[in-house]
Structure 1
Amino acid sequence: MSISIKLMGVPGPKLGDEKFTQDMFGVSTPTFVTPDTRANAQLQKQSLKNTQIYYFLNLRESHVLDFIMQGLWIKTQTSPFEAPYFSCVPYLLGDGQAMQYSMWPLRKKRTRIPRLPLRPPDDYLRNAMVATLAEEDVEFDIRVQLQTDPHLMPIENNAVLWPTKLSPRRSVATLHIPKQKFDSPAQLNFDRKLSYNPWHSIPEHRPLGNQSRARRRMYAALSQLRHEMNGVPLYEPTGDEVFE
């Protein structure tokens, strides 16, 4: 699973094309599957042929360790509100300091996964979100981990887990999602107009590393294609939108 957060009304100059937003991202495994853009391209090529296993078991350039670690971390999720999310790539935290961030659910309840041990419905995670927000608020603890060792906590290899023994994750903020109905036609249409990019950012939190540099162009191109296919314009939200 993944999460995208768009902060609105953010002052100051930006690196990307949006003037008043700061985007944040996370996935539900603590590292990326691939260490860098070159390896990512190799995996994508194999994915197109549905032969991803050859990327991991390539005798000339094996990624067996990545395969094992991802297998240990991946699990059937109960709800998007009940899993932690990790940035996996580093960002600046002011001049000369790299960090990674993560979001940790504060909800203690666990949603039942339908149909187990059979395959759950394709939309069970979305249904879990709708049901939860219809009844209660949801909160995540946002934590920051500072880079304290450039060798054991690398910038350019995003398949390496930064050791918490060297630098613990520290709470810096709370993401609060109020109780609501969020799946109205007006809201879904609004969602289609949005665009997310790690480079929707102030310079002080610039994305770092080769995969972040690649995502700048890739995300922009994918967003443009998606908006053209959906026949909707790009839209930078203000946070003042009202939905009936």
Structure 2
Amino acid sequence: MFNPAQVSPSPVLYEARFEHLEDDEADTTASLVDALRGISEKTLADGGQPLRSVHAKTHGLLRGELRVLTGLPPALAQGLFSTPMAFPILMRLSTIPGDLLDDSVSTPRGMAIKVVGVEGARLAGSEGEVTQDFVLVNGPSFATANAKSFLASLKLLASTTDKAPGLKKMFSAMARGAEKVIEKVGGESTTLKSMGGHPETHILGESFYTQVPLLHGPYMAKLSVVPISPGMLLLKNAALDLRDKPNGLRDAVVDFFGSHSAEWEVRVQLCTDVNTMPLEDASVVWPEDLSPYLPVARITVPPQAAWSEARAEVVDSTYSFSPWHGLAAHRPLGSIMRVRKAAYEMSSQFRAQHSGKRLQEPRSLDDLPD
């Protein structure tokens, strides 16, 4: 149940003027799609397997439940969270690159959640579906400010895809060392982390963020998913030795869920000031002293086989995750989100075309293999 002592701030109502198209945004979108297609074509040619253009490597596939809290104030009780009820979910844990790297090349981690059985007015392109996807990364802000800078960083990523894996390991080790020095003096480098300098820590100890905003009914918000169960809290910043363990992150997730359950809290940060919480600069961390992340739901995942060939075959071959799968009440906002729509569509269509398998949006998870 929501704790009324956690006072909800006064949110700003969404207005169309808070968003604005970038110059040549259509060209940026086309170039972004081309760059992502290039990543997919390269990994297909080298490995013979159609992969996601980014977040290609799966570290866990988990079935669980999302339960909306009771007693939410009106500003929080929006969209998916408007009614206290439970939904089945599928959670996919990943890392950012589009190639299947050794886990000792340590990059930012991702979490994608597919909520099933969601009714309501839909986003264009997802009519007739009953899913709501949330796509999150373990940092509160996006690495770049807007679509154009996103394209520039993606081109750099594309240029290194499936090249010199040994050198990537060496560079990752150096980048982690540099990041460690920066963090010792209270800093942090998003650039170093994205280039392989992410600390070698347990993925289940991470908090995840949408990084870029969504509608929250008539308001604007960012979401986070934060571990709260005791076993998970012990894993926060817990070092993980990934030497000679190419799938060490997955092994750690499988080991944990072999005997433990897990619980996360879903939290919403409402926009209360469009100047300090802009929609069109995704690199800005919205200040929590002005608007804290407030709980709206709990996710529980029981002990289970956290990864299997059979489950991966279904999820990685026939499911896709996109913030554009969902309710109109949670429409993605800002240039990063706008260009992502075409990018996600291309990536999923590429996988379907080259795997010969039909993409599907599940209406139930009952038949998902163990």
Question: What TM-score results when the alignment is normalised by the length of structure 1?
Answer: 0.85
- Distance in 2 of aligned mates of 1:155 and 1:211: 10
Q: Percent identity over the alignment?
A: 32
Instruction: Verify: 1:148 aligned to 2:272, yes or no.
Output: yes
Check 1:156–1:71 CA distance in 2 against 1; reply closer, same or farther (3 A cut). same
SS at match of 1:81: helix
Contact 2:266 2:296 in 1 (8 A): yes
- Distance in 2 of aligned mates of 1:228 and 1:72: 35
1:69-92 Cα distance to aligned partner (Å, 9 max, x none): 415876324222110001111011
Q: Which residue of 2 aligns with 1:90?
A: 213
Query: Which of these residues, 324, 332, 335, is aligned with residue 207 of structure 1?
Result: 332
Check 1:177–1:71 CA distance in 2 against 1; reply closer, same or farther (3 A cut). same
Q: Gaps spanning 5+ residues in structure 1: where?
A: 51-66
Contact 2:262 2:300 in 1 (8 A): yes
Q: Which residue of 2 aligns with 1:11?
A: 119
Check 1:229–1:25 CA distance in 2 against 1; reply closer, same or farther (3 A cut). same
Q: Which residue of 2 aligns with 1:64?
A: none
1:203-233 Cα distance to aligned partner (Å, 9 max, x none): 1111111111111111011111022222321
Q: Which residue of 2 aligns with 1:70?
A: 190
- Distance in 2 of aligned mates of 1:242 and 1:109: 30
Structure 1 segment 147-226 matched on structure 2, within 5 A? 147-191=271-315, 192-226=317-351
SS at match of 1:42: helix
- Distance in 1 of aligned mates of 2:307 and 2:249: 14
Query: Which of these residues, 134, 137, 143, is aligned with residue 258 of structure 2?
Result: 134
SS at match of 2:342: helix
* Residue identity matched to 2:205: E
CA drift at 1:44: 2.1
* Residue identity matched to 1:235: Q
Check 1:162–1:112 CA distance in 2 against 1; reply closer, same or farther (3 A cut). closer
- Distance in 1 of aligned mates of 2:331 and 2:253: 31
Q: Which residue of 1 aligns with 2:74?
A: none
RMSD between aligned residues: 2.1
Contact 1:81 1:138 in 2 (8 A): no
- Distance in 1 of aligned mates of 2:121 and 2:200: 38
CA drift at 1:142: 1.0
Contact 2:130 2:326 in 1 (8 A): no
1:152-197 Cα distance to aligned partner (Å, 9 max, x none): 0000100000000110111111111111013233212111210111
Q: Which residue of 2 aligns with 1:243?
A: 369
Structure 1 segment 101-140 matched on structure 2, within 5 A? 101-106=223-228, 107-110=232-235, 112-114=239-241, 119=243, 121-140=245-264
Structure 1 segment 34-49 matched on structure 2, within 5 A? 34-49=144-159
CA drift at 1:109: 2.2
Q: Which residue of 2 aligns with 1:99?
A: 221
Instruction: Verify: 1:29 aligned to 2:139, yes or no.
Output: yes
* Residue identity matched to 1:28: N
- Distance in 2 of aligned mates of 1:102 and 1:223: 25
- Distance in 1 of aligned mates of 2:154 and 2:309: 34
Contact 1:9 1:239 in 2 (8 A): no
Contact 2:126 2:326 in 1 (8 A): no
* Residue identity matched to 2:296: V
Q: Gaps spanning 5+ residues in structure 2: where?
A: 1-108, 161-186
Check 1:183–1:48 CA distance in 2 against 1; reply closer, same or farther (3 A cut). closer
* Residue identity matched to 1:33: A
- Distance in 2 of aligned mates of 1:222 and 1:232: 14
* Residue identity matched to 1:5: I
Check 1:143–1:77 CA distance in 2 against 1; reply closer, same or farther (3 A cut). farther
Q: What is the number of equivalent residue pairs in this alignment? A: 224
* Residue identity matched to 2:294: R
* Residue identity matched to 1:29: G
Which deviates more from structure 2 when the two are superposed, residues 41-50 or residues 171-180? 41-50
SS at match of 2:203: coil
* Residue identity matched to 1:182: A
